[in-house]
Every structure is written in C-alpha cells, then in structure tokens.
Structure 1
Amino acid sequence: MFWIITLILLGLFLLIVEFLLIPGVTVAGIGGMLVIVYAVYSAYVDHGTTTGHITLIFTAIASIITIAFSLRAKTWRRVSLDTNVDSKVIEDYDKEVKPGDEGLTISRLAPAGKASINGNVYEVWAQGELVDPKTPITVIKVDTNKIIVKPKQL
C-alpha cells in the first residue's frame, strides 16, 4: 500500500508541475495522469475492490484539493513576476521635425518607409502615393508619433 500512496503523491506532484511550471500538455501532465491511473489500478488488482474504491475516492478528493490550491490567486502571485513596465514606445517628433522641413527618402514609401530629415533617419508616411527611394520630400504634417510627407514639388 506504501507504493500506491507514493505513486499517487508523485502523480499529483507531476500535475502541479504541469499546472505551474510547464504550460500546455507535456510529459509531466501525461506522466502524472498515467502514474495516478496505474496507482488506482494497482489498488484494485493487489488489494481488492473495497481498497480500490477507497483509493479511487481518496485520489479524486486529493486531485480536486490539489487543483484548487494550485489555481488560487495567492499561489500564482508567489510564482509570477511582480514588476510593472513604465516605459513608452511613442516618440515625440513634434520637437525635432516641423511641417515644411525637407529631406530625402532612403527606402520606398509604400506608404511607409525610411527617410532622412534634418540629418536624422525617421519612419515616415507618404500621403496618398508611393514614393521611390532617393526622392526629395517635404514634411506636411507631424503627429506625436507619425510624420506625413509628400514628394517635393520641383
């Protein structure tokens, strides 16, 4: 009977590893289920029907309790990362580029691409048309994170 209890505890441990450490269906989860099923099967075969029923009921209750404790919020707080990301991706182009500034495209604007304006490289958007590389451009509008350009009129 010691080996059956040991196998059930090992199966429950593998299920906890599956829930908390290795997400998805992996060897730990499948192995845990197989070990638990084998332990219950062994209880029926080696010790009779009554002991098998008791083992099955104990295993079902232990599994429910284990799953309930593993999925509680406090359990997840202990194993999860507790930091906040305070950075921003948005760049403020209003201070560097003004409407009317001129530049030269580096890549094709279809409608977005790279351009050199005031000696710096920016991602720019063409207004309504495709612009070939090495074409002179004029800035017509600057949003917080978007520079809209058009080909320079010659």
Structure 2
Amino acid sequence: MALFQDPLFGFCVIGIATFLLAGECLVKAKGLFGLIGFVLYILYLYSQLTDHSSYWLIAVMAVGVIFVVLDGVLITNGTVAIIGLVSIMLALAVASPSLPYGIGVSVAFWVGLFLSLLLIKTMPARTFWRRLALFDQSTSEAGYNSLNEETKLLIGKTGLTVSVLRPVGTIEIDGERYSAMTNGEWVQSGIEVLVTDVDGTKIVVKPLSIELEK
C-alpha cells in the first residue's frame, strides 16, 4: 500500500476508479467497470485510514455510491446523484494524508467523471440514457413543428415594418414583432406589408405601398 502515499499514483487511481464507476452508470459494462472502480476506491481508502475511528469514511463513500445508483435507476432527476457524488469526493479527499493530496484527489475525481461521458460515444448506452436522448430529440422536434405551425398562421396578415427591410428586418403584427424579409425590395420603416409566405421560421412579406427604400 506504499504506492498510495505517492500523490501522482493516488491521482491516477482515483481518476481511473471514477471513470469506471461513472461509466458503469452510463453504459452497459455488465458490472465489470463498477466492480473494478469500487474496489479501487476501497483500496485507496483502506491505504489511507490509519485507525478504526476513520472507517466511517468508507460508509460515507458507500452511501454516496448508493445515492448515485438510486438516482440513475429510480429518481432520475439528478439531485440525489449530485449529493452522492459530493459525498464520494469528500470521503476520498478527507481520507488523504495532506491538503495538496486531497486537492489532487478531488481534481482527479471530477476529471474521471467528465471523461466517463466519452464512453457513451463508444459503448452501448444504458436504456435510461437512450430514452432521455430520444425524449430530448422528440421534444425539440415538437417545439420546432409547433413554432412552424404558429408562424404559418401569419400568411395573409398585414403588419408594419418596424425597421428598414434591406431586405431583412423587423415587422410588427398584432403587437408581436417578427424577423421578416422581402423578395429583394428594400422597404422603409412604418410601411404596411403583407405576409405572403412562411418557410420554416422565415417570414416573407411584400409592401402594400410603393414607398420603397431608396
């Protein structure tokens, strides 16, 4: 266990352990990543604790791991997982033999945590994360489609130019402002325009008078 007294070795061990344990929550590693990561954590804590009165840190770390797992499986809102991650980090840092060592361990913990996100790109993600990604995608698409349908309702309505259209600018319809464009004409501000077409979120208008920007 003498190796664990080297801050660089401890940094690497905690970084790898966190990478594997967090990766177990993100991808289908069949429990192997989680087992190795948890064993590395225990070995680190055991090497740093000098008396039985400090063994409560192992309990704190174990509770933190349980919180992370519970959040990923049951709660899924991230709040309990954050408490768990902070508990694990504190247990590892407090057990370190010196302040610089503890700071290094804390940095290694977060480095390993962020690096574990790369596993989602290379290994099969757990069902929860796939569903979350699909939900976000469908929500974005639904929001875009809803906005597109609302914008199409403007076709045939008239409004006033708030700024000069060159040929893009701002118009106001029923008290709401929109970005709009003409088919190439430059139109002065304060001119009445008619919405002739909507393509996605692009609003096309034409002036109802001949007062064009010169």
- State the TM-score, normalized to the length of structure 2: 0.36
Larger Rg: 1
Q: Indicate the structure with greater strand content.
A: 1
Q: More helix per residue: 1 or 2?
A: 2
| TM-score (norm. length: structure 1) | 0.47
